[in-house]
Chains A and B, each alone.
Chain A
Amino acid sequence: DTGVSQNPRHKITKRGQNVTFRCDPISEHNRLYWYRQTLGQGPEFLTYFQNEAQLEKSRLLSDRFSAERPKGSFSTLEIQRTEQGDSAMYLCASSQDSSEAFFGQGTRLTVV
């Protein structure tokens, strides 16, 4: 078990461009979560999946954000028309059912 894996680790993009991040959860975990963390703050919940179904989305997840988990394994988080305010660390976590979540190393997004 290699833990939760996120790619890329760092992404620099120009304002207005689209970006996509990938998360590979722990293999036997059926739930997958996305969080956003800005400097000096704790992580904030964005959305979560149980298997391939997206069960909840935070109000933080604007229309420019979309997440998928097509086969109930890896997940992608896409941000369209990036803005400087999207600069943050995007964290993925996974769990088996209702147990505690295990986090990946995160993807650091910088929008210039």
Chain B
Amino acid sequence: AQSVTQPDIHITVSEGASLELRCNYSYGATPYLFWYVQSPGQGLQLLLKYFSGDTLVQGIKGFEAEFKRSQSSFNLRKPSVHWSDAAEYFCAVGPYRNAGKSTFGDGTTLTVKP
């Protein structure tokens, strides 16, 4: 069965500091990996996705993620965090033939200090 673990429930960083959110997955085949962001009371917005090719993928809002097959990880990074990045971040894994049917982690809440 597929699963996603986001080890950090809550992370606090200062504005302008770098950010890394961790994601580990378990999946029997080649995974389709995603990062989504959710603001309070809102739906999910896709930040970036990875299926194949370059293991470093660029997304919206200055985010990037690196796929490491040997570590079953897909960590999200941003070099300089803005106050507007405060939100909840979800990592997800899905089957290639049906990426919309994804398994999500329980999320990491990001707080940004001024």
Contact = CB atoms under 8 A, between A and B. Distances in A.
A4 B100 CA distance: 14
A93 B100 contact: yes
A91 B92 CA distance: 15
A30 B3 CA distance: 26
Interface stretch (B40-48, B61-69, B75-83): B40-48
Contact of B104 (A43, A98, A102): A43
B85 interface: no
Nearest to B34: A100
Given A42-B4, A100-B99, A105-B42, 19 more contacts: A31-B100, A33-B100, A41-B106, A42-B90, A42-B104, A42-B106, A42-B107, A43-B90, A43-B104, A44-B104, A48-B98, A91-B43, A94-B100, A98-B97, A99-B99, A99-B100, A100-B46, A100-B100, A103-B44
17 contacts: A31-B98, A33-B100, A40-B106, A45-B103, A91-B43, A93-B44, A93-B100, A99-B99, A100-B46, A100-B49, A100-B99, A100-B100, A101-B100, A102-B46, A103-B43, A104-B43, A108-B41
